[in-house]
Chains A and B, each alone.
Chain A
C-alpha cells in the first residue's frame, strides 16, 4: 500500500481557504504557505534524536515530502510530527495546541522515558493543562517482560491495528475525552483527542526508532496515518475554529 502523495498534497492546498481567518498564522494560510507535513527536530534538546531520524526515514519511504524544523520554528501544517521530545516550557505546548485548534493533526511522541527524570514533571503538567491528558511517569518494561513472559508489543488499534515492539520504557497516556490508540498489555500507551478542528495524538511508547529500523508494521502504521489525514483533513474545513489563549 502506498500513500497517494498527490491526494495528500492536494488536501493541503484546500486548507488555506478555511483557516485563513485565524491569526496569528492566518496570513500564512492566506498566502497558501501551509506546509503539508512538518517534522520537528528537537536537536540538542531532544530526548530521543533517533526517533526523529526514524520518522524522517519513514516519511521518505512513503514518498512524502516534508520539512524539518526546530521547535522554535514550528508553523502551520496539515500534519505535524513531533517525535522524541519532551515538553519543558509552555511555549511549544501552546503552539501545538493552537495549531491543533486550527486544524493541524499533531502527533506527539514523548521521549520522556529517555530524558532526565526531573524533566518529566513539567511535561506531565503541560500535557494536562494544554491537552487534557494524564501521563504517568516512565516505567521500565524490561527485564520484567521477559520474567513475566509478557508480549513485548504495543498493540495499536488506530489508525491501523498493528503490533509494534515496545521501546523498553513507557509513559502511559490517557484522557477523559481521548480515545485509546494503543496499549501494552492492560496499560494505555497512546491516545488521541480532538482539539478544535485538529487532533492531538500522543504516543507514550516511541515508534520512530522502529521506523528507522525498517519495521514493516510501524511503517504501515505511519502510512495509514498519512492516508487518514490526507483524506479527513481535506474535508475538515468547517467554520467555527475555536481560538485559544495561552494558559500562561
Chain B
C-alpha cells in the first residue's frame, strides 16, 4: 500500500512547493489534491496551471494519489435547485478532467446531503441519477469516482449494505466507494465496510475517531491515528483479506495547534506501522 496526505493539510501561509517538500520529507509517496479547498487549485485553475501543479508534484518526487473536493458541501448533487445541481455536476466533471491531467485515476465525491429540508428519498434518487450520468463520463476518462461515506455529516447511506445497494442501483463500473475509516462513528465498524466493499473501494481516507466523548458522551470527535476507537488491527486484517493494495490517504481533521509540520511526520510514521502491522 502507498501513503498520501492532502494538500489541504499544508499549514496556512506555506506555498504549494514548500508543502510538497514537507510531504516528501515526511515519507509520503503521494499527495491528494483538493479542488476548491486550496488557493493553488480552484475551479478557475486552467488546464495549463493544473499541468504545472503536476510538474511541481513530480519534481518533489511525488505523484498525485487522487483528486478530492469539499465543494459539494455547498453545491451537492442532491440539491433541489437544478442550477445548484448543474454546478455540482460541473465540479465532478472538472475533477475528472483534472485527474486526467494530473495522471491519477480516482476522484472523491461527497454524493448527497440529507437535511431537514431535502429528505432521504429525494437525495437518493437524485444521486443515483447524477452518478449514472457521471459514471459514463468517468469510464470515458478512465478515472473512477469514489463516493465518500460521510455517514454522520451526510446523514446518507449509513450502513455498508445500504451503500452497496446504492452502488448496485447506480450500476456503473467506474463508480465505487472512497472509504473513510474515521467517518463511521457509531453506525458500524470500518473493517466490516472493507469486507463488504472490497474491490469497489477506490481509495481509503485514514483518521481516527473518539466515540462517546463530551460531558454526556454525546459527541464523536476526529483525532490522530491510534488515539481513537478504531480497531486498527482489524482494519489492517480486513484490508489484507480483500487484497486492498491501493492508496491510504491521511485526512487529519484535527490539526496540531503548534508545530504543524510535526503532524505530517507523526501521521506518516503511524501509517507505516499500520502497513507493517506493528500495532
CB contact list, A172-218 vs B, under 8 A: 209-210, 212-215
B117 touching A143, Cβ below 8 Å: yes
Mask of B226-265 contacts with A, CB within 8 angstroms, 1/0: 0000000000000000000000000000000000000000
Interface: A1 (CB within 8 A): no
A168 and B80 alpha carbons, distance in the complex (Å): 8
* Residues in A neighbouring B116, C-beta threshold 8 A: 142, 145-146, 152
From A212, which residue of chain B is reached at the shortest CB distance?
A: B125
From A57, which residue of chain B is reached at the shortest CB distance?
A: B125
From A54, which residue of chain B is reached at the shortest CB distance?
A: B125
For chain A, which range describes its interface: under 10, 10 to 19, 20 to 34, or 35 or more residues? 10 to 19
Interface: B93 (CB within 8 A): no
Mask of A140-172 contacts with B, CB within 8 angstroms, 1/0: 001101100000100000000000010110000
The interface of chain B, by Cβ under 8 A from chain A, is 80-83, 116-119, 121-122, 124-126
From B121, which residue of chain A is reached at the shortest CB distance?
A: A213
A142 and B119 alpha carbons, distance in the complex (Å): 13
The interface of chain A, by Cβ under 8 A from chain B, is 47-50, 114, 142-143, 145-146, 152, 165, 167-168, 209-210, 212-215
Knowing A212-B125, A213-B125, A214-B125, say if A165 contacts B82 (CB, 8 Å): no
A167 and B119 alpha carbons, distance in the complex (Å): 10
B82 touching A50, Cβ below 8 Å: yes
A49 touching B80, Cβ below 8 Å: no
Task: Given contact pairs A165-B119, A209-B80, enumerate 15 new A-B contacts (beta carbons under 8 Å).
Answer: A47-B82, A48-B82, A114-B81, A114-B82, A114-B83, A142-B116, A142-B117, A152-B116, A152-B117, A167-B80, A168-B81, A210-B122, A212-B125, A213-B119, A213-B124
A212 and B125 alpha carbons, distance in the complex (Å): 7
B81 touching A146, Cβ below 8 Å: no
* Residues in B neighbouring A212, C-beta threshold 8 A: 125
A165 and B83 alpha carbons, distance in the complex (Å): 21
* Residues in B neighbouring A114, C-beta threshold 8 A: 80-83
* Residues in A neighbouring B121, C-beta threshold 8 A: 213-215
* Residues in A neighbouring B126, C-beta threshold 8 A: 50
* Residues in A neighbouring B124, C-beta threshold 8 A: 213
* Residues in B neighbouring A168, C-beta threshold 8 A: 80-81, 117-118
* A12–chain B nearest beta-carbon distance, Å: 31
B80 touching A146, Cβ below 8 Å: no
From B118, which residue of chain A is reached at the shortest CB distance?
A: A168
* B111–chain A nearest beta-carbon distance, Å: 15
B117 touching A213, Cβ below 8 Å: no
* Residues in A neighbouring B118, C-beta threshold 8 A: 168
From B119, which residue of chain A is reached at the shortest CB distance?
A: A165
A6 and B9 alpha carbons, distance in the complex (Å): 64
A209 and B117 alpha carbons, distance in the complex (Å): 14
A4 and B82 alpha carbons, distance in the complex (Å): 35
* Residues in A neighbouring B81, C-beta threshold 8 A: 114, 168
A22 and B6 alpha carbons, distance in the complex (Å): 70
* Residues in A neighbouring B117, C-beta threshold 8 A: 142-143, 145-146, 152, 168
Among B83, B116, B119, B122, the most chain A Cβ lie within 10 Å of the Cβ of B122
* B113–chain A nearest beta-carbon distance, Å: 13
9 tightest Cβ-Cβ pairs between the two chains A and B: A213-B121, A142-B117, A213-B122, A213-B125, A168-B80, A146-B116, A212-B125, A114-B81, A214-B121
